[in-house]
Structure 1
């Protein structure tokens, strides 16, 4: 007696809802007498069911039933035992012939068919041909992918339920749904109902396609999922996107163990000509190739068929979808792995032309992600060469390349330090006496301990600000920490508010300089110009905040180059928590200015809260550590080399006395004694006259100044570090402020 497979409880609900919404009636179930071998299909309880012994008659019976109402067709999933020898590469699926022959008897005919998922997912020509014939007579309205939809089949087997309506002149939207493997049935049903009610957009487990793809394209769920398509487009954010086949040639060897034995190629690892065979299981999920073991095969392989340094090896067997999501098991071949050759079920990718280390690293990392597997297509057990050939992979731009190089160098340096520490530890009992061993460990370990302490300080925000932030901010932060530690509450509270204002002032000056360079004028400049001309009190906390808020939302700044510093600067107040902290500090600053001072009893708590808000703002401004403030001290242009030899001071940290450094720059338009911002690409952006560097006439210390007031006879600059002023009576300065829109 044949076993009976039925729809799972969830699948039965979805089928019923689908027919209720699309046909407004319960369907008649038509199935073959034999389903998937000796497995028959059992219709849901209460549904009219027809069993057709012969698959050849299914199309005819379908038309008869459709003439009376909707149909739920469950054809056999069997394949012909003796396929057509004239088409040896083509499987003979009975359901494909049945569907190709089904004809809707009326314009309102509705039919749903239950098939193995690959029938609708695969790009293989025989399935594309089947879908093309179906599309000539039917419109696809709904596609539902469901693992474990049928009892008596393995729970990992995925089926597809396709709802079809007789072809109309206007094509309907297509709705695609994927039943998650582990979720609450009630939640899935609710989401399915939401999808059926929509004419566009996406739900948690489904989406609507207003322009359905052609039948030649396999409709696997991820292929047209808006979320996946967006992530695919986002790959360009790394720099560029190429198809894997544009960068690599593909090789899949036939060196199976049986073939090696048959051709007497197996040998001993002691044989001078022995080549290690890399098997799929040797390629780790973490991107490593396992060292040889007792189970490793060794063989004599011609040199032209061996692996080479720089090759990528990939397991051709993809991890089943039942395990946690991983990407392709991919590793890079290095000199330490050679000589070696790939066994069967290992794909070899060889660069068409040499790739940089960051390129190879980024590609390998990407291939190991679930997104790579998602973009490659439906998760079949074996990947195809065509799938890999078309797979988009990101390419790093200059900034990312530099960052990856620096991270690699850091990793190698840490590894060297680890090896040095191991050497010291292992030497404890190698000295002649315990006293000598003790001295060696203490002396040799001192430098290592100091390195660890220095590295640990980088996780301390205060240390990062004092040592890596631009001088005006680092100076203010150091003073704030000193005031707090000294216990002078009034001075500490004032220092916190001063630092917050000068932080916003400094970043706002960067915004003004950078937007002016791009010929963009912000509306907030008008208020600043009016206050400068007033001559009584210059712009303040609120004005700087207005500049930053406008920059964060300005559409004029939405299409900046990827590495432009404004992209980072715009994020300072873009988050709600940062803006909330800014508003709180601004209110405290106003209260102080208008004599609404905090009561001495409440001052310690006010200091804690205000400093927490300041810390949050500074944390959001960590990008400043990568935007160096430079003072150009000398420029010599080489007309033949077309480069400038530049001497500069990098004003990083809490002290203005820093060494002079040199570099080259591909332009001769740099100004000496002017301040510049250096971005992550190494480009220099002039900050004059928004920020200038001078020796302060009051304290005789080198300081940074910004325009604070501009009466008719002078421009008064104010120091960001200590608030001292600098009077500039030169008419040229007044005229310059007019040229940039500040007077």
Structure 2
């Protein structure tokens, strides 16, 4: 085969030859028309035969005749023709290849036809293109579609060309291969990739993929639309809460066509003229460019006028544009203005919430949104935009977005206050007054920033925002380490690690029981409670957490359920290794296999690093407060309860009492609850109990440690002190499966 075919890209030529060789080994015939008008021209490989039809009207019959002799590459003319358009409109433009391809018929059951056309036949969602694809599917199976850009120099280099391989329709449709030749000619690697794809029955390669679950015949075959990665990511969007279409949240704003509506073009000076925003006015940074001498002005009808909060999307893809749609939100500064036909303007519907608006605006700028819209076409269509699947925030994400927005506004307020204070340095009557004002008013700003900065410190976060048992043990380990007593510090670090896992395991048991999902790891805990020798320990808590992490039933709970944070605690090899090292250290220490004093400093450092890793993985605890209900007042008329509670977060049990109104009357005064991010309370009794310790007289949290015949012994998570309870307490433990 010659190295090149003149006017056809050599790599694209070789890919065509490989496609034919994979489908059929017979010599290929190339069919064109005798007319050169709008006819892609190129030289043929020496092994291919050339044939010509008299006119485009004769090509279909000629193609069917030649198909009886072997495989055929059909190159129909790309010219437009005029006639009666759709919906009765006259002089609507049609392409000649529409009629040519629609009339092509197989000569026999083995007929193989490849067609070289603009990509829009296969990618467009217009009724005309969809109808043509459906018509072809009545007689042909699509085996492969090969896309390429700049493959025919006589056509604009940005135009995407498609070569589709068709075979006479069979009873069952075979899998389809879709391949996109990259803009840069990578020669052998591209051809090798295509060769691998042709042999594949599924999956993807670097430049192509196999479609096993075939879409409806009329559906677009845009390269990104059916790519396995995109399909997977599109389904994964539901992880935000749910999925809807952009058209459910936004409506299209009518645009001004600069050609069809040329009579509306005006000048800035004319009364009623507004700025016309084109694609170039939508900047990559998410803003709209300032007007210049080159800006257009129009007299737009009111229905075309933009409003603050509208989104304007650049309607044309540039080859070198970064991934993601180029979109800007209209502000008061940009008005008055109207969108041009080179943009897509969207207005939030009255029912669309601010949280949805924020999430959509961020999502549209992602590479995934770009791929879902379809980069195979230079132009972004309104239809594709409105059908774009977009994530919907659930209640948890909505609350998080609200909190982030509030935080952003608060930080902006602080920044503005600081700038105002700095600008006032030289506006006071005297330098002394300016100095005193900056020192006095700046003190509050400095303290706010210092307090906010502390949140980046893991230790501060644990001491102030983690549940009391964990925060208390963490503070104890920090204090012991700073005091320099290596043995005491080492023991405190190991105990802090055990209490962290103990607390998480007990919460996991409570949540699993509440969900009606039994855990087998309770069997070992039950045996130790009844043994009368030693209660559950490090290994038992680990067993609970590992079982919870692997439980399919727990995994099936709603993704916002607090159990999933706990299930993720020991996920990952680094966390598993850290837990294993701490477990071994704790076991050795408990069995008096003490370290030599020389080895203790390094052991403290290593154990602290492992504890820090587990604490870092358990930041989810900060979002699920430990709550002690102190009083409940039920209102039968409103069916709500006024709940008084203490939020036991931080390293001290003395905290103020708070009040909340909740629509439930089953809350227990004196019991502990977990308050999740959905504002729901989960009972922790009898897995965790809050009492004033009889030894240290400090309010503490307890778990069942031993159950002799005449009583239940509880052990404090904070101090390890034992607190006896009446024997009837065992009935609650029995009910939840611990006895």
Q: TM-score by structure 2 length?
A: 0.92
Quote the residue 1:519 is aligned against.
516
Moved more, 32-41 or 239-248: 32-41
Aligned pair 1:658/2:655, yes or no? Answer: yes
Answer yes or no: is the 8 Å Cα contact 1:242–1:394 preserved in 2. yes
In 2, are the aligned partners of 1:522 and 1:550 still within 8 Å (CA)?
Answer: yes
Match of 1:327 among 311, 325, 328: 325
Per-residue deviation, 1:38: 7.2
Question: Gaps (5+ residues) in structure 2?
Answer: none
Q: Which residue of 2 aligns with 1:462?
A: 459
Q: Give 1:197's aligned residue.
A: 199
Does 2:22 align with 1:21? Answer: yes
RMSD between aligned residues: 2.9
**Alpha-carbon distance change, 382 to 191 in structure 1, aligned in 2, over 3 angstroms:** closer
Displacement of 1:265: 6.1
**1:120 maps to which of 111, 119, 122:** 122
**Are the counterparts in 2 of residues 34 and 40 from structure 1 also a CA contact under 8 Å?**
no
SS at match of 1:668: coil
- Indicate the residue corresponding to 2:549 in structure 1: 552
Which moved further from structure 2: 641-650 or 315-324?
Answer: 315-324
Would you say 1:306 and 2:305 are equivalent positions?
Answer: yes
CA shift, 1:154, in A, is: 4.5
1:385 aligns with 2:382: yes
> Given the alignment, which residue of 492, 499, 521 partners 1:495?
492
Query: Is 1:418 the equivalent of 2:415?
Result: yes
3-state SS of paired residue (2:502)? helix
Query: What secondary structure is seen at the aligned counterpart in 1 of 2:650?
Result: coil
Corresponding position: 1:741 with 2:725 = no
- The Cα of 1:739 is off from its aligned counterpart by 0.8
SS in 1 for 2:708: coil
Rounded Cα–Cα distance in structure 2 between residues aligned with 1:676 and 1:14: 65
Specify whether residues 553 and 381 from structure 1 end up closer, same or farther in structure 2 by C-alpha distance, changes over 3 A only: same
Q: 1:578 Cα deviation (Å)?
A: 0.8
The equivalent of 2:111 in structure 1 is: 109
Please give the alpha-carbon distance, in whole angstroms, between the structure 2 residues aligned to 1:284 and 1:316: 9
* C-alpha spacing 1:160/1:294, structure 2 compared with 1 (3 Å): closer
Alignment counterpart, residue 209 of structure 1, candidates 211, 219, 232: 211
* 1:679-698 CA-partner distances (Å, limit 9, x unpaired): 00110001011011111111
Cα offset for 1:293? Answer: 5.6
Deviation at 1:53, TM superposition (A): 6.7
Q: Residues 141-160 of structure 1: matches in 2 within 5 Å?
A: 141-151=143-153, 153-160=155-162
Tell me how far 1:610 sits from its aligned partner: 1.5
Q: Contact conserved, 1:5 with 1:152, CA < 8 A, in 2?
A: no
1:12 counterpart residue number:
13
Partner of 1:287: 286
Instruction: Summarize the Cα distance change of 1:556–1:328 in structure 2 as closer, same or farther, 3 Å threshold.
Output: same
Do the aligned residues in 1 keep the contact of 2:283 with 2:326 (CA within 8 Å)?
Answer: no
Distance 1:670 1:625, change over 3 A: same
Query: 2:705 maps to what in 1?
Result: 708
The residue aligned with 2:611 is: 614
Is the 1:11–1:149 Cα contact (8 Å) retained in structure 2? yes
Could you tell me whether the CA contact under 8 Å between 1:316 and 1:382 is conserved in 2? no
Q: Which residues of 2 match residues 564-583 of structure 1 at below 5 A?
A: 564-583=561-580
1:267 to partner: Cα distance: 4.9
In terms of mean alpha carbon deviation, does 335-344 or 702-711 score higher? 335-344
CA distances 1:89-136 after superposition (whole Å, capped 9, x unpaired): 753323333323333333222222222111111122333333333323
Partner of 1:42: 43
Residues in 2 aligned to 1:257 and 1:38: alpha-carbon distance in whole angstroms? 28
In structure 2, the partner of 1:315 is 313
Q: 1:731 aligns with which of 710, 727, 739?
A: 727
Report the 3-state secondary structure (helix = DSSP H, G, I; strand = E; otherwise coil) of the residue aligned with 2:191: helix
Q: Is the 8 A contact 1:244 1:389 kept in 2?
A: yes
Kindly state the Cα deviation for residue 454 of structure 1 after the two structures are TM-superposed: 1.5
After TM superposition, list the pairs within 5 Å mapping 1:49-198 onto structure 2: 49-50=50-51, 54-80=55-81, 82=82, 88=90, 90-151=92-153, 153-181=155-183, 184-198=186-200
**Residues 1:264 and 1:52: Cα distance change in structure 2 (over 3 Å):** closer
Of 528, 537, 544 in structure 2, the residue corresponding to residue 531 of structure 1 is 528
Whether contact under 8 Å (1:33, 1:40) holds in the other structure is no
Q: After alignment, is 40-49 or 496-505 more displaced? A: 40-49
Residue in structure 1 matched with residue 363 of structure 2 by the alignment: 366
Shift of 1:461: 1.0
Task: Report the more deviating stretch, 122-131 or 59-68.
Answer: 59-68
Deviations 1:209-265 (A, max 9, x none): 3342333222112222232222222222222333333333322133759958x4696
Between the aligned partners of 2:112 and 2:604, the Cα distance in structure 1 is 72
**Once the 2 structures are TM-superposed, how far is the Cα of residue 87 of structure 1 from its aligned partner?**
6.0
Mapped to 2, the partners of 1:357 and 1:497 lie a distance apart of: 47
Partner of 1:594: 591
In structure 2, the residue matched to 1:397 is 394
> Which of 112-121 and 124-133 deviates more?
124-133
Q: Which 10-residue stretch deviates more, 40-49 or 666-675?
A: 40-49
Q: CA separation of 1:6/1:582 partners in 2, compared to 1, >3 Å: closer, same or farther?
A: farther
Residue number in structure 1 paired with 2:483: 486
Structure 2 counterpart of 1:684: 681
Q: How far, CA to CA, are the matches of 1:591 and 1:13 in structure 2?
A: 68
Give the secondary structure class of the aligned counterpart of 2:677: coil
Q: Which moved more, 1:176-185 or 1:568-577?
A: 176-185
User: Post-superposition shift, 1:150?
Assistant: 3.5
- Does the residue aligned with 2:700 lie in a helix, a strand or coil? strand
Instruction: Give the CA deviation at 1:55.
Output: 4.0
| Structure 1 residue 381 displacement after superposition | 3.7
Secondary structure of the structure 2 residue equivalent to 1:455: helix
1:427 aligned to 424, 429, 451, which one?
424
Distance (whole Å) between structure 2 residues aligned to residue 223 and residue 540 of structure 1: 53
Name the CA shift for 1:6/1:718 in 2 (closer, same or farther; >3 Å). Answer: farther
2:705 and 2:713 in contact (8 A); partners too? yes
Q: How far, CA to CA, are the matches of 1:378 and 1:391 in structure 2?
A: 13
**Contact 1:631/1:675 (<8 A) preserved:** yes
Q: CA deviation at 1:549?
A: 0.9
Q: Does 1:639 align with 2:640?
A: no
Name the count of aligned residue pairs.
Answer: 734
2:606 and 2:35 map into 1 onto residues whose CA distance is 74
Stretch deviating more after TM superposition (504-513 or 356-365) = 356-365
CA distance 1:600–1:188, shift in 2 (3 Å): farther
Residues 164 and 301 (structure 1), Cα distance of their counterparts in 2 relative to 1, 3 Å cut: closer
